[in-house]
Chains A and B, each alone.
Chain A
Amino acid sequence: MKKIEAFIRHEALDAIRDRLAHMGLPSMSVSEVKGSGRQKGFTESYRGATTTIFLRPKLKLEVAVDDSDVDRAVDAILELAHTGEPGDGKIFIFDIQEAIRVRTGERGDVVLAPHPEEANA
């Protein structure tokens, strides 16, 4: 099991969510984050005083997937989050020690499987 943590532009989210859901990976967490990287800051000007803002808003997308799905998921994110301009974001992949579903207490790969009804749909 791996956790894919992708920092992406806000505009990229809808397409990525659609694609991953289509691939049978509907579970994800998304959070608003601020960060700095190679993309330059921008200037905020207020009543004549200016300041440079280095932290830009991004989205953090977290998806836990089976080892065999990692490449497919990463490819989808790479394709859809890419504009070619600085600020497209980064992807990090982590190992997951254990996965537990709170409702049933199930452990392991079964936790990552889509809901039976959703899998049929």
Chain B
Amino acid sequence: MRFRAFRSVPALAALMLLALPVMAFAQDDAPTVESLAESVGGLTTAIDSVWVTVAAAMVLLMQAGFGMLEAGLSRMKNAGAVMAKILINLSIAMLMFWATGFALGFGTGNDFWGTSNFFFSATGLPDAADTVYSANTASITSLFFFQVAFCAVSLAIVFGSMLDRTKFAAYILFAIPFAGFIYPVVAHWTWGGGWLYQAGFLDYAGSSIVHLQGALGALAGAIILGPRVGKFRGGKAVPIPGHSIPLAIIGVIILWFGWMGFNGGSSLVAFNLDFADVLLNTNFAAGAGVIGATISSLLMFKTIDVSQMGNGAIGGLVAITAPCAFVDYWAGIVIGLVAGLLIPLVVVGVEKLKIDDPLGALAAHGVSGIWGTIAIGLFGTAERMDPVIVGLLEKTSREGLLLGGGAGQLWVQTYGVLATMAFTGGLCTLVFMAIKMTVGLRVSEDHETSGLDISEHGMFGYPEQFIDVPGATPEATHYRSPGSSSDPASSTKPATAS
């Protein structure tokens, strides 16, 4: 209603301007406190909704970041298939979240899941009262958009560990239960006012809810799928380098940019300006993550691994996602640095376990997600947590362990993480096992060797690399020779245009 009322404000204002001379004599029509309050309320809704919508669009762009990162770190023969995966997952996430996801996650219901607003409808506005957002100023439609973009991010993370060998059908069959059930239920526990929220569990923007969940899917998938052909030879991990480090790192930077919407937008309001503060923490931690991974890489491998630096940025960002609103800047830097330092260690550890994770999703999203969520219990400050814990839960705040607040919050954070691991890890394992036993999860070895582009999609991501494309090579006769530079016809015409 407030939303609708606001749309007529400009028209009313214009009318009032025109009517000003008349109004001077008619004191009864002057703005009252009530009418002013309504206008301001409308304005708040509009400004908050604009911020949430812009932030959601930035989160949506993270799909481009994931696409580039995953394509860059897979081999050329699989680059097209990665893009197909990104597109189909995003699309299924959109529709599943509309059908059931939003209702289970953010509808009103019980402590375990929401039960209202299946097949989300905008015509019934404002049914915000029927969701956990009844108190929010931003419009319910903008909040839906924001949450569906988050769900799609979580889903995109899952397949990072499963590149180069997964059947296209498996993406579809996994996306449906993940976006339609698994992710929203866990989101409800905290963001939907469920049992973890009531226990005082804090996860500002989703280190555990979005990133750890994605990584748990990635872990289950990678184990059930098995390593790529030729990844482990004689008990040793063999490097299978991705085809484009620049593409991968541009992907990381797009993710970094998208994270400004991810963490900043999670304030869900623009009016109190908390979002800018959160963004400083986010950026500091990302920078510290890169530095941490660089140091670790140098110590462990005696070389500065560029892909690990990219993982370090993601690790820092994932780790600060939960605590970004609850810790001071120095703590944010420590959290990011530790996450970055851990990345190369975890990447090597995962390979020691004979798990093939081409993207480092288990390190960057899994371990960093756990670390970031738990870090609230170490570094959270009363000043920053009070508005959430005291204001909404009417409980006393629990400062972090390292700040002398005891282990209370740390314990809540820990069992929140454990519950997520049990629920999501268990269900993802079941879903992947079911897919494996029905349509199959993995392509044949022959198809894997040929590459997913040609075997799954019948076309190449980089055709000129593999087949003779008509006219792909410019004709040498049209190249400019040194003597012909004065010839106007050849100097204005690029060689490749002929």
Contact = CB atoms under 8 A, between A and B. Distances in A.
Interface stretch (B24-32, B302-310, B460-468, B487-495): B460-468
Nearest to B467: A53
A11 B454 contact: no
Nearest to B463: A44
A19 B316 CA distance: 45
B468 A44 contact: no
A43 B458 CA distance: 7
Given A55-B467, A57-B466, A44 B454 contact: yes
A10 to B, nearest CB: 8
Given A11-B449, A42-B454, A55 B460 contact: no
B467 A46 contact: no
Contacts of B229: 11
Contacts of B458: 43-45, 50
Contacts of A55: 467-468
Nearest to B229: A11
Interface string A40-64: 0011111000100101010000000
Interface in A1-17: 10-11, 14
B459 interface: yes
Nearest to B449: A11
A88 to B, nearest CB: 13
Contacts of A43: 458
Nearest to B445: A11
A44 B230 contact: no
Interface in B426-463: 449, 454, 458-460, 463
Contacts of A10: 449
Nearest to A83: B446
Contacts of B463: 44, 46
A11 B459 contact: no
Q: B233, B449, B467, B468: which has the most chain A beta carbons within 10 Å?
A: B467
Interface string A8-41: 0011001000000000000000000010000000
A86 B230 CA distance: 22
Interface string B193-229: 0000000000000000000000000000000000001
Q: Name, among A14, A34, A44, A46, the residue most crowded by chain B CB atoms within 10 Å (CB to CB).
A: A44
Interface residues of B, number: 12
B456 to A, nearest CB: 12
Contacts of B454: 42, 44
B459 A45 contact: yes
A24 B51 CA distance: 69
A34 B458 CA distance: 19
B459 A44 contact: yes
Nearest to A42: B454
Contacts of A50: 458
Contacts of B449: 10-11
Interface string A59-100: 000000000000000000000000000000000000000000
A11 B449 CA distance: 8
B442 to A, nearest CB: 17
Contact of A46 (B233, B459, B466): B459
A46 B459 CA distance: 6
A55 B458 CA distance: 15
Contacts of B468: 34, 53, 55
B87 to A, nearest CB: 15
A19 to B, nearest CB: 14
Nearest to B238: A14
Contacts of B467: 44, 53, 55
Nearest to B233: A14
A9 to B, nearest CB: 8
A50 B457 CA distance: 12
Contacts of A46: 459, 463
Contacts of A53: 467-468
A45 B463 CA distance: 11
A11 B230 contact: yes
A57 B454 CA distance: 13
A50 B466 CA distance: 16
Nearest to B450: A42
Nearest to A11: B449
Contacts of B233: 14
Contacts of B230: 11, 14
A53 B467 CA distance: 7
B249 to A, nearest CB: 27
Contacts of A14: 230, 233
Interface string B104-138: 00000000000000000000000000000000000
A11 B229 CA distance: 10
A47 B488 CA distance: 38
A50 B468 CA distance: 14
Given A11-B449, A14-B233, A50-B458, 7 more contacts: A42-B454, A44-B460, A44-B463, A46-B459, A46-B463, A55-B467, A57-B466
21 contacts: A10-B449, A11-B229, A11-B230, A11-B449, A14-B230, A14-B233, A34-B468, A42-B454, A43-B458, A44-B454, A44-B458, A44-B459, A44-B460, A44-B463, A44-B467, A45-B459, A46-B459, A50-B458, A53-B468, A55-B467, A55-B468
Of all A-B residue pairs in the complex, the 5 with the closest CB atoms, nearest first, are: A45-B458, A53-B467, A46-B459, A45-B459, A44-B459
Interface of B: 229-230, 233, 449, 454, 458-460, 463, 466-468
